[in-house]
Structure 1
């Protein structure tokens, strides 16, 4: 069995290899993992996107008996550092101080990636006793929001499609069993251009867009209903238009993010935005109608407590003496992508943490033995072993 010291050592090496999404080359951090896995004779391969870029690593441990496959998932790319001067230690330090592992990626999610590698190494040594198989997906394209590793895994003709996925986001008190979905769009608001000093100048595109923002933010959204505990939410996230001071702008683009629920899905979100745009065009006419371009959509999801793999993780946590509760997350996560593919997923249970995506990110190593034991117990149960 891989020891906690070995897991921590691998996590430190991963943190000391910067892998900021969209900034750093992912090759080196994947190389750290490949060296570790090669030293333990574990089968693995790189995953690539449509352009041929490496976006993840896939470990596959086939059991000796037939059965469904299950997957563990953790990302090995990270958020950017932000203002490095605000950190009290170097972001890629990987040090352990007072029981906390420090550095960008310690919490999200290089410690989980190292832990999952350890579980894969143990199971590889006893594969004949397992039913089905275990895949460990180490996504190197998660923080971009593209989830390139997960998409490449699902598109890989050689990979066995998993019956469920356990995602190693941190947090000791909760098992995330669901999340709101999302519907995102870019809205192009038009107007007639002209000189800002003209007596005949009509409302410009920025002014019309401001009116549309008010219409969107005043639109009524339903509350939480049924077994899904969260209500939908609409946010105008960007506004771009105009140049200088002397020209009435003829185009202004808005970004809109709507978090969806089973009672207010992507179609309802699109209808709400379309109705607001139509109302704008009636109230404040322009030469061209307002256009809406959807850019992303994921469904909401929620697993019942007795559905796998949520049941296995909740039961394992209780057996290990941890008081955890199922949670539906407000933000979307990779579980939404999997839900769209019909694959159930948990999306969070791990060690306590601080500074995630912020300053002085760190993970509590005191929690590691218990968290490791929970995932180990859950996976062995799913694979028909103990």
Structure 2
């Protein structure tokens, strides 16, 4: 795994092979989406100093903020093992409610505090540290390690990983497997690997009526009755019963509004929005068709409605359990003493983009405090994740040498 030529880089005030020190340094970068905040610059300096070829492309899209990203690679041969993540974080919210400085990286009683400590600067730092330790110990090992790091995961996800992957592909980069360092564990470091994600589809339903006086209902048409009828039809029958690796798809109504401040006026229309987290039974197209079928059947000739299904890039996907998933699970079990569950629960992530280029699994720190006031990560979990990732990288390249 020979080092690529690099330009001079600044001397760092800490050893980046230390996952705790690197996490602190990243947390101290106020990289609230879409601001880079110094986090990508820090990673660029760290990886350049270790011999990585580093690029920082900026992507743009009308109506969205420009976003900085980072791609780094060491090695020139296959297999290419990719570590992916993001340095952007959500806003701190009510800063006065924090008991520690949100971007301070303070450590108290074995816990490191700060926005992004959990989601996901801690996970990314531990994986960077593991890759650095592996590279130092194996400077001539065959194969390559690459990093895909975006500043747009917590935002629109338009100018981030999806474009970074396309940019790398156009440059001739080809990837074999990827681990994404999202905080997947509910309670302990041995709990869970994400091997897939559900899709997400949002619909907006409008029912038209005729406004009128409540005392003269024969001169009006109350759209609320039709809305109740249609929503009941959407929710009356389960969308499916789940699949081998996925829970049943679920529909949740998220808003219901008629915009009517008067109690003696029948409104002119009613609006509702809903979101469906769907499994691999469906595609966005087949699911939209099923929704329209249910609505059409329930409406008959009595309810006037329109359904707007919003475009989505969040489709259900699965990385089938196999040798790569087993290597990840083996590394976790070897370091924690417990084999993790294989899961597809939770929201969406950038894995939905990565899966188009190579198999991807997600594993990181415990996610209890993500996006919360006083977000934090256990120092012991950072150390454990570094050791797990180092073992994973070692086993991954060893397996390919034996193949």
TM-score normalized by the length of structure 2:
0.81
Q: Is 1:12 paired with 2:24?
A: yes
Partners of 1:240 and 1:131 lie apart in 2 by 60
Gaps of 5+ in 1: none
- Is the CA contact (8 Å cut-off) linking 1:4 and 1:369 kept in structure 2? no
- Is the CA contact (8 Å cut-off) linking 1:258 and 1:269 kept in structure 2? no
Partner of 2:316: 300
Q: Is 1:275 paired with 2:286?
A: no
Give, in angstroms, the shift of residue 161 of structure 1: 2.7
Cα distance change on mapping 1:159 and 1:337 into 2, 3 Å: farther
SS of aligned partner of 2:294 = helix
Partner of 1:182: 199
Matches within 5 A, 1:9-158: 9-21=21-33, 25-51=35-61, 53-63=66-76, 66-125=77-136, 129-144=140-155, 146=157, 148-156=159-167, 157-158=170-171
Partners of 1:31 and 1:196 lie apart in 2 by 63
SS of aligned partner of 2:195 = strand
Partner of 2:242: 224
Partners of 1:327 and 1:166 lie apart in 2 by 14
1:102-145 CA distance string (max 9 Å, x none) = 01110111112222332343455567633331111222111125
Give, in angstroms, the shift of residue 363 of structure 1: 0.5
RMSD: 3.1
After TM superposition, the structure 1 stretch with the greater mean CA deviation from structure 2, 370-379 or 340-349, is 340-349
Q: Is 1:316 paired with 2:331?
A: yes
Cα distance change on mapping 1:32 and 1:207 into 2, 3 Å: farther
Partner of 2:346: 331
Q: Is 1:208 paired with 2:226?
A: yes
Partner of 1:163: 176
Q: Is 1:343 paired with 2:362?
A: no
